[in-house]
Amino acid sequence: MQTENKIHRKVLVVDDEIVNRRLLGFIVSRDYDVLYAENGIQALEEIKSHADTLSLILLDLLMPEMDGYELLDILTHDEELRRIPVIVLTSEKSAEVQALQHGAVDFIPKPYDLPEVILARVQRSIQLAEDNILIHENERDTLTGLYTKGFFFQYARQHDKYYPDIPMDAVTININRFHLVNELHGRAYGDNILQSVAALIQEFAKNTGGLACRCDSDQFDFYLPHVENPAAVIQEFSEKFRKMTNPTKITVRIGIYQNADSGIEIEERFDRANIACSHLRNSYQTAFALYDTQLHEKELYHEKLITEMDKALSEKQFQVYYQPKYDITGNTPVLTSAEALIRWIHPQDGMISPGVFISLFERNGLIQKLDRFVWKEAAAQIRLWKEKYQKTIPVSVNVSRIDIYDPMLKQELDEILENNQLTASELLLEITESAYTENSRQIIETVSRLRESGFRIEMDDFGSGYSSLNMLTALPIDALKLDMQFVRRMTEDSKAFKMVELILDIAKFLNVPVVAEGVETEEQYQLLKKAGCEIIQGYYFSRPVPAEEFEKLIQKEESTC
Ligand code: C2E
Ligand code: CA
Ligand code: CA
């Protein structure tokens, strides 16, 4: 492979003496394509016409017309040509240093050494020059000219080493809704925006002695000496940015970890800036957030929960609670099913709500383990009640978006059913609407397969996402769970109530029942009943409760039948 490469590399031999040209050319032509020139002027012509492909120049110093030094000077001052390494040929010891000072990379003394020595020097110089180009290419992001992520972190570490006493801020800058910018205005415009942000950051970096990189498509990291009043600086930044991007009203969000602790890894310092940034929503204004002790405590707490999860599972700190769903189509509400909701009863911290840990565990995949635990518990509970009360109370379990991508999902659910001698229709599956909009094709495939084997699927939090009506008709679902926010706003806000009516209409059209969640008051209950909602879940009937308490609801139902 290597010799093959060498054959195509070009080397220019420049010497006014024909014997020298022949001799060198003969040696070098073993591994390279050789070009020849008799003096500096001829050489320059050859170099220019092979500027892209020439790998090395072997240059005699003493020549008529234009000597080697003059040529070296021209080359080193030319943006494009200075990349070509030059080895000088000389019989004078004193000329060697002078040639190196003029930009030569190496020298070969006359009379010539063994051919192998010459070839080795040629090869090494070419290799070094090419490595150098490669490094330079990888060092900078081609679109913006900022550092690439890897080099940025490396230089930031170096900076810390040289200037350990300068307090630094780690800053991360994200463009809001950048994917929309690309979609609405085209990629070229999007690139333009990225270049504008980069130019502003670069200017700032220059003035403050900071470093910056583009670390992701629309995200920039910036490491700079501590700024006392970031609000003023950001104000200036966003005004300049607004002028550049008018009239598109593109904004950025900025996370800042001030006086970044140099005792922790540089990547982690930027993670903290990112944590601060992630607390800012995509807004229509440029906004910034500082990483502070509160965020830090939250981060530590999350870390603690992650570390403790396994132990908590084995120590049975997790408990499944059940919240009833009532059919309200008749005169009196009838208990139809339940939703299984996880609770963490922590030995020190007390009851931790799923709102605290579900999204955390979703981000790192731990949710899968937890979900399987809930499914197993729920299935065993259905079985138990079935034996005790001679009827099935179907329980719905939440299926996280990551579960959907698990190729083993159906098999695992089947196993759970089999172990508890249940059929698929007894364990209901809730999938949140936003999962459908994220990757609708995959979801539709997975859900269709589950339904084919008898599972029933409820679309959770319906109305909070953006599923289009078109998509809805194509979706394989068995019930819509109306998002709680509509129920909450419905009594005060007529628009919210209209939305509820609309969703009920859609559901009728799709021929699926609607479950209204979060129903707390008589008023909400009556309104929903009148609008034609079939099933209700909420504090109005019962909070989620432990299995033993849920049994009391079953018993009450039994006694009224
Ligand atoms: P969700 O699936 O939408 O569950 C309904 C949430 O509404 C539950 O909150 C429930 O306690 C609460 N809720 C029910 N009725 C009322 C009411 O009348 N008023 C109010 N204010 N709230 C009501 P919870 O148990 O805190 O769970 C929050 C979310 O955590 C759930 O939302 C679900 O997305 C997730 N979650 C809970 N358990 C699990 C689980 O085992 N696996 C997965 N993947 N997610 C779970
Ligand atoms: Ca749910
Ligand atoms: Ca829900």
Per residue in 463-514, pLDDT tens? 876 665 666 777 789 999 999 999 999 999 888 899 899 889 989 988 999 9
Q: What is the pLDDT of residue 283?
A: 67
Structure token digits, residue 76: 């080193």
Distance CA(475)–CA(460), nearest Å, equals 13
CA 38 to chain centroid, in Å, comes to 57
Atom number of ligand 1 nearest to Cα 520: 18
Mean pLDDT for 356-373 is 93
pTM of the model: 0.66
Q: What is the pLDDT of residue 560?
A: 79
Per residue in 315-327, pLDDT tens? 999 999 999 999 9
Per residue in 10-53, pLDDT tens? 999 999 999 999 999 999 999 999 999 999 999 999 999 998 88
**DSSP structural state of residue 246:** T
**DSSP structural state of residue 285:** S
Strand arrangement, sheet containing 86-90: 33-37, 10-14, 54-60, 86-90, 106-109
The reply to whether 321-340+365-560 shares the fold of 10-137 is no
> If you average pLDDT over every residue of the chain, what do you get?
90
Q: What is the pLDDT of residue 438?
A: 66
Task: Give me the phi and psi of 317, to 5 degrees please.
Answer: -75, -20
Structure token digits, residue 407: 């190729």
Per residue in 161-218, pLDDT tens? 888 899 999 999 999 888 888 888 889 999 999 999 999 999 988 888 899 999 988 9
| Four-CA torsion 436, 442, 445, 450, nearest 10 degrees | -70
User: Would you say the C-alpha torsion 51, 54, 56, 60 has a positive or negative sign?
Assistant: negative
Using DSSP bridges, classify how beta strands 427-432 and 457-462 pair: parallel, antiparallel or unpaired: parallel
CB 327 within 8 A of CB 351: no
Judged against a pLDDT cut of 50, whether residue 1 lies above it is answered with no
Q: What is the pLDDT of residue 10?
A: 93
In the block, tokens 């759970």 appear at 416
Distance CA(555)–CA(547), nearest Å, equals 12
Q: What is the pLDDT of residue 6?
A: 40
Question: Domain 10-137 - what CATH class?
Answer: alpha beta
Residue 534: count of CB within 10 angstroms of its CB: 20
Provide the CATH number for the domain formed by 149-291 in this structure. 3.30.70.270
**How many angstroms separate the alpha carbon of residue 63 from the centre of ligand 3?**
85
Distance CA(144)–CA(240), nearest Å, equals 17
- Residues with beta carbon inside 6 Å of ligand 1? 323, 341-342, 353-355, 358, 367, 371, 374, 398, 400, 460-461, 517-520, 537-539, 544
Query: What are the sequence ranges of the domains in the chain?
Result: 10-137, 149-291, 321-340+365-560
Per residue in 94-152, pLDDT tens? 888 888 888 898 888 888 878 898 999 999 999 888 877 777 777 888 899 999 888 89
- Give percent above pLDDT 90 in the chain: 62
Mean pLDDT for 434-453 is 83
Distance CA(250)–CA(272), nearest Å, equals 24
Distance CA(64)–CA(43), nearest Å, equals 12
Q: The domain 321-340+365-560 is classified under which CATH number: 3.40.190.10, 1.10.3720.10, 3.20.20.450, 3.30.70.790?
A: 3.20.20.450
**How many angstroms separate the alpha carbon of residue 226 from the centre of ligand 3?**
44
Mutation pick for ligand 1 pocket among 360, 517, 541 (CB with most ligand atoms within 8 Å): 517
